[in-house]
A and B are shown apart, each in its own frame.
Chain A
Amino acid sequence: MSDLLKSGRLRGSATFLLPALLLCALPFYLDAFWLRIGLFSMAAAIGAVGLSLLSGTAGQLSLGHAFFLAVGAYGYVWLAGEPGPGLPPAVAAVLAVLLAGAAGGLFSPVAGRVKGVYLGVATLALVFLGHHVLLTADSVTGGFNGRSVPPLELGGFTFAETDPELTVLGVPFGAEERLWYLGLALFALTWFTARGVLRGRPGRALAALRDSETAASVMGVPVARYRSSAFVVSSMYAGLAGVLLALSFRRVVPDYFSLLLSVDYLAMIVIGGLGSVAGATVGAVFVTALPLLMTRYADQLPLVATPGSGDGSIGPTEASRYLYGAAIVVILLYAPDGLHGLARRTRARLRRRPPVTGPPGTGPSSGAPSAETDTAGDTATTARAKEHTP
């Protein structure tokens, strides 16, 4: 954090510029299939960063992320579409994010007071009740069949196949190419803001209340308020991810926003490494790209059958679920700080430095490689139990 103010900024911009340029160049070389993978990964990364802030940094488990993704996605569709107020899509997108935040705020009496893994159980309610509403509130959500998504429009430029026709350097810019840059911009915004939060005063307060609620409160952190704020912020990132997902899918259906989706996001942040923006991104790419790649290359993979080849065979979706289910278990067994931490430690070992030091700017939330990074919660209960000796 201190190096944010020193040399870190220079080195930081160098390490960011290169990947950023690379990502901007990709649409000129990749076909739609790969761009779609990238697009879904970026959307997932935005949502995962939000969840990581809540579960990784603040130690509050949430299985309700799918609900807030749905609020963002459906919020956009309804606000921008017919039936609905038919607002300009850009306005609808912003409002949809705020709507997701407001939904998180409505849940804050629970999110502020129920801690750690218990919140995980409480948020199950959001997914199931939300799914019920999506199915039954036909006039807004379109019911079981869902609704088609109006394309985003910004100052006369539409993020769709045409309108205006666009060819850049000989490459026709269709929906995927256009959305790619939108996704990139939103992801950059997410990266910038989330790291600002994590390395700033709120991030430190959240990490403190994860590590010890008692200590945090004594240091002046209003525990319940910070818990609910983390929940609201995390909901807003989910809402933003929902908007981008809706734009990429071009159709939203209720069954997509099930408990499985919430579990996917949890898998992302655990696999990537809890509490860090980079970790959430890595995990999001892994969990999103794996089934898509496996579907594409099913015929070349051993043990994996092509989709629809009948009951009992292992399809690509199943294969990837086995893999990342097992990945959660294996990672928490052997490398609790996830892929991101693993990479950091390998790099540190290569440089022959003590593993915990880490590269500059890893922030307060990604310090020592231990399971402490994990969702905490009732540390205070234990701490207080010990203080109980009168």
Chain B
Amino acid sequence: MTRTAAPPALEVRDVTVRFAGLVALDDVSFTVAPGTVHAVIGPNGAGKSTCFNVLSGLYRPAAGTVRLGDTELTRLAPHRIAALGVARTFQNIVTTQGTVADNLMLGRHALSRAGFAASALRLPSAVREQRAHLAKAREIAELTGLGALFDSPVALLSYGDRKRVELARALCLEPRVLLLDEPVAGMNAAERVRMTEVVREIRAELGLSLVLVEHDMGLVMRLADEVTVLDFGKAIAHGTPDEVRRDPEVLRAYLGTDTTGEDAA
């Protein structure tokens, strides 16, 4: 049940997405090396969320390919991509009613089997499976600091806790690649620190590849191994956080057209 092999590389090549004539992603390419943290940053409307929606199969690109190892993802439905071990969180929290446990168990959907008949008749196999997955979900809740809240209704949780439910639910898929869409957006300073710790731990313990869309540059600089910068749907820079931070193109995109003054400062 647990995926032990090292994650394959996630390769985005020449992806273009158009909405009614508007080019949301223009010929974007980058590669997420196995086991690394890759951040995708850029100003508002640069195409970051679109990029995630392509990776998780919600949008079909007009051109280009996304590959996970040898598997082409762009032609697959979202649930098939999930089954390959690509999990994601949403920027605007999307939880289901019920408890934290219910949400985490939903995260294990792709790893479990019980269908309508087995669940209706409560066959021993279904009961056993449910018990095993519940134990695993509880483990992941502990890892993300939700252990004490496991049986609480999600509706009663704080914003920061619900963000962590999103993360824990994605982890329940035991992903090889985890896509985090603004994991700390809207959080206060303390929650941010805590979330950063959690992400760091996950990375250390689970050895998965992480793709991160984030506005919080502090977080990106601390966590990312590599950064891709998008602006108006184009990838304008790649590199380590340090390289990207010094890239004049990037400064222009973030701070306006006149970069000379900023460089001096």
Question: Are the chains A and B members of one assembly?
Answer: yes
In the complex, whether A258 has a CB less than 8 A from a CB of chain B is no
For B194, list chain A residues within 8 Å (CB): none
In the complex, whether A17 has a CB less than 8 A from a CB of chain B is no
Q: A201-B114, A220-B173, A221-B79 are in contact. Are A390 and B19 (CB under 8 A)?
A: yes
For A204, list chain B residues within 8 Å (CB): 96, 98, 102, 105-106, 109
Q: A2-B101, A220-B79 are in contact. Are A215 and B122 (CB under 8 A)?
A: no
Name A375-390 residues within 8 Å CB distance of B.
383-384, 386-390
Of chain A, the residue at the smallest CB distance from B232 is: A390
| A387 touching B79, Cβ below 8 Å | no
User: Closest approach, in angstroms, between the C-beta of B17 and any C-beta of chain A?
Assistant: 7
| A219 touching B130, Cβ below 8 Å | no
For A384, list chain B residues within 8 Å (CB): 58
Q: Which of B83, B119, B129 contacts A203 (CB 8 A)?
A: B119
Number of A interface residues in the complex (CB < 8 A): 51
Of chain A, the residue at the smallest CB distance from B56 is: A218
For A372, list chain B residues within 8 Å (CB): 97
Q: Which of A215, A233, A365, A386 contacts B116 (CB 8 A)?
A: A233
For B109, list chain A residues within 8 Å (CB): 201, 204-205, 208, 219-221
| A354 touching B22, Cβ below 8 Å | no
In the complex, whether B110 has a CB less than 8 A from a CB of chain A is yes
> In the bound complex, how far is the Cα of B119 from the Cα of A193, in angstroms?
7
Of chain B, the residue at the smallest CB distance from A389 is: B45
> In the bound complex, how far is the Cα of B78 from the Cα of A303, in angstroms?
58
User: Closest approach, in angstroms, between the C-beta of B173 and any C-beta of chain A?
Assistant: 7
For A3, list chain B residues within 8 Å (CB): 151
| B110 touching A219, Cβ below 8 Å | yes
Most A C-beta atoms less than 10 A away, residue of B47, B56, B102, B115: B102
| A194 touching B120, Cβ below 8 Å | yes
| B126 touching A354, Cβ below 8 Å | no
> In the bound complex, how far is the Cα of B120 from the Cα of A356, in angstroms?
26
For A229, list chain B residues within 8 Å (CB): 115-116
Fill in one digit per residue for A337-380: 1 if any B CB lies within 8 Å of its CB, else 0.
00000000000000000101100000111011010110000000
> In the bound complex, how far is the Cα of B98 from the Cα of A390, in angstroms?
32
Of chain B, the residue at the smallest CB distance from A372 is: B97
> In the bound complex, how far is the Cα of B250 from the Cα of A44, in angstroms?
66
User: Closest approach, in angstroms, between the C-beta of A258 and any C-beta of chain B?
Assistant: 29
User: Closest approach, in angstroms, between the C-beta of A122 and any C-beta of chain B?
Assistant: 22
| A390 touching B101, Cβ below 8 Å | no
Fill in one digit per residue for B175-210: 1 if any A CB lies within 8 Å of its CB, else 0.
000000000000000000000000000000000000
Fill in one digit per residue for A217-256: 1 if any B CB lies within 8 Å of its CB, else 0.
1111111000001000100000000000000000000000
| A2 touching B58, Cβ below 8 Å | no
> In the bound complex, how far is the Cα of B102 from the Cα of A199, in angstroms?
9
Chain B binding surface SS class: mixed
| B58 touching A202, Cβ below 8 Å | no
Name B114-135 residues within 8 Å CB distance of A.
114-116, 118-122, 126, 129-131, 134
| A219 touching B173, Cβ below 8 Å | yes
Most A C-beta atoms less than 10 A away, residue of B98, B105, B126, B150: B98
Once A and B bind, how many residue pairs between them come within 8 Å at the CB atom? 168
Name A1-17 residues within 8 Å CB distance of B.
1-5
Number of B interface residues in the complex (CB < 8 A): 62
Of chain A, the residue at the smallest CB distance from B82 is: A220
In the complex, whether A158 has a CB less than 8 A from a CB of chain B is no
Fill in one digit per residue for B92-104: 1 if any A CB lies within 8 Å of its CB, else 0.
1011111101100
Of chain A, the residue at the smallest CB distance from B53 is: A387
For B35, list chain A residues within 8 Å (CB): none
| B97 touching A5, Cβ below 8 Å | no
Most B C-beta atoms less than 10 A away, residue of A3, A220, A233, A388: A220
Q: Which of B19, B45, B134 contacts A2 (CB 8 A)?
A: B134
User: Closest approach, in angstroms, between the C-beta of A182 and any C-beta of chain B?
Assistant: 20
| B116 touching A197, Cβ below 8 Å | yes
Name B40-57 residues within 8 Å CB distance of A.
44-45, 47, 49-50, 53, 56-57
In the complex, whether A212 has a CB less than 8 A from a CB of chain B is yes
For A388, list chain B residues within 8 Å (CB): 19
User: Closest approach, in angstroms, between the C-beta of A132 and any C-beta of chain B?
Assistant: 31
For A220, list chain B residues within 8 Å (CB): 79, 82-83, 109-110, 173
> In the bound complex, how far is the Cα of B126 from the Cα of A191, in angstroms?
18
In the complex, whether A325 has a CB less than 8 A from a CB of chain B is no
User: Closest approach, in angstroms, between the C-beta of A235 and any C-beta of chain B?
Assistant: 12
Of chain B, the residue at the smallest CB distance from A369 is: B155
Fill in one digit per residue for B146-161: 1 if any A CB lies within 8 Å of its CB, else 0.
0000110111100000
> In the bound complex, how far is the Cα of B155 from the Cα of A389, in angstroms?
27
User: Closest approach, in angstroms, between the C-beta of A170 and any C-beta of chain B?
Assistant: 38
For A109, list chain B residues within 8 Å (CB): none
Q: Which of B58, B92, B97 contacts A218 (CB 8 A)?
A: B58
User: Closest approach, in angstroms, between the C-beta of B79 and any C-beta of chain A?
Assistant: 5
Q: Which of B58, B78, B130, B153 contacts A357 (CB 8 A)?
A: B153
30 sample A-B contacts, Cβ–Cβ < 8 Å, listed by A number: A1-B102, A2-B151, A193-B121, A197-B119, A200-B114, A200-B118, A201-B129, A202-B119, A204-B106, A205-B106, A208-B96, A211-B95, A218-B56, A218-B82, A219-B79, A219-B87, A219-B106, A222-B77, A229-B116, A233-B116, A233-B120, A364-B97, A365-B97, A365-B98, A367-B153, A372-B97, A383-B92, A387-B58, A390-B17, A390-B233
Name the 8 nearest CB pairs between A and B, nearest first: A220-B110, A390-B24, A200-B119, A220-B82, A193-B120, A364-B98, A217-B78, A367-B97
* Apart from the given pairs A208-B96, A211-B95, A220-B79, 11 other A-B contacts in the complex at a CB distance below 8 Å: A2-B134, A196-B126, A201-B115, A212-B96, A217-B57, A220-B110, A356-B155, A367-B97, A367-B99, A387-B50, A389-B44
